[in-house]
Amino acid sequence: MGSKGEKRVAVIPGDGIGKEVMAQALLVIEEIATRYGHCIGTEEALAGGSALDATGVPLPESTLDLCKRSHAVLLGAVGGPQWDDNPPELKPEKGILGLRAGLGLFANLRPAHVYPTLAGASSLKPEIVKGVDLLIVRELTGGIYFGQPRGISKRNGQEVGINTLIYRTSEIERIARVAFEAAGKRRGRVTSVDKANVLESSQLWRRVVSEVGKSFPDISLNHMLVDNCAMQLIADPGQFDVIVTTNMFGDILSDEASMLTGSIGMLPSASLGGRNGLYEPVHGTAPDIAGRDLANPIAMIASTAMMFKYSFGLEREAAAIETAIASVLDEGYRTADLMAAGGRSVGTREMGRLILDRLDAKGH
């Protein structure tokens, strides 16, 4: 598959607006490859609802095989109301969980950066969110989403839903290292979030993270209960640098953090741990606006910047994408989800074109 030196990217547009935002991201990748002299091959595959409709399963073996053979995976978004009544094993989201497990992706990196020109789009006062630049490191393959036993059964004439929250020392150690290493390249602060006042798994989490922290003497570490963290993200988000936490807590807190930026349509993410990485926007499929040229493609495009940085080690190319996004926002262009900050309203395709133009303007 591909020529020597080619960077191979598996592309999973997914469902809903996933297809629309992915189209814009692929144009950016093509432009970066042309301008900087890279050979980047892309191949599309199915996962989620589209895979269910076409193959009857949310993650076909052919898709997982392609992802394993690629250097990186780009994912749009999966899901939609038409699959809500499917049994658990046939829900679109099962495809994503299967990709994470199949590729060994145990660390999810979700940055939340407030662009100065978008401070007014946040649901919080501009003075609260000004300068916010945090990174949530979420453990991705353990915890309550994967623990056994699980399921719904009957006991004493009643249905009982069971999920098991379990963490092993090795799982905590490796995600903690990712967080400390990330903090070393940022502002040197790690906040570990747990529920150690109630949960034994969190008591182990806190103890293991503290032990790993001893190997990073230049990084400051503090522990915070998840309910307090949820409050502090609203009260004083600027205090955070790197937040490291469990699968479920990270899922919830990263969506909360997204609203600091003005829109969930702004947040990219990277899932790392194996030989390749998976890059996707934090937002969902937004079926209510799918096909209407209203979706914000910035999170998907910013996810490609993370791909260039983490999977390909191309910092200059990643920075060029991020600079182009910032330039378009500085000039006042906004998709519908960002109009609370004021500016000139543009659609999905126009926002993508503007970012491409700024890439072209920057040149090498």
Q: Return the axis-axis angle of helices 298-310 and 348-362, rounded to nearest 10°.
A: 40
Has 255 been annotated as catalytic?
yes
Q: Return the axis-axis angle of helices 298-310 and 315-330, rounded to nearest 10°.
A: 160
Q: How far is CA 312 from the centre of its chain?
A: 17
Looking at residue 187, its amino acid is R
- Identify the active-site residue in 7, 91, 145, 194: 145
For the record, the structure tokens of 148 come out as 């056994």
Strands (E), the chain: 7-14, 40-44, 72-77, 107-113, 133-139, 151-155, 158-162, 189-194, 220-225, 242-245, 268-272, 277-281, 333-334, 344-345
Q: For residues 127 and 124, give the distance between their C-alpha atoms in angstroms, rounded to a whole number.
A: 8
- Identify the active-site residue in 7, 251, 279, 337: 251
Q: Are strands 151-155 and 158-162 parallel, antiparallel or unpaired?
A: antiparallel
Please report where in the chains the tokens 């999905």 appear, as a residue.
348
Has 91 been annotated as catalytic?
no
Please enumerate in sequence order all residues whose Cβ is within 8 A of that of 195, keeping only pairs 6 or more positions apart, or say none.
Answer: 202, 225, 226, 227, 249
Fill in the DSSP letter of residue 338: G
Among residues 165, 166, 194, the alpha carbon closest in space to that of 179 is found at 194
- Identify the active-site residue in 53, 65, 227, 236: 227
Has 251 been annotated as catalytic?
yes
- Identify the active-site residue in 195, 241, 309, 310: 195
Q: Tell how many helices (H) and how many strands (E) occur in the chain.
A: 12, 14
Has 53 been annotated as catalytic?
no
Q: CA 67, 10, 355, 360 torsion: positive or negative?
A: positive
Q: CA 197, 203, 207, 210 torsion: positive or negative?
A: negative
Contact, 17 vs 295, CB < 8 A?
yes
Has 145 been annotated as catalytic?
yes
Contact, 266 vs 158, CB < 8 A?
no
CB atoms within 10 A of CB 34: 12
Catalytic residues: 145, 195, 227, 251, 255
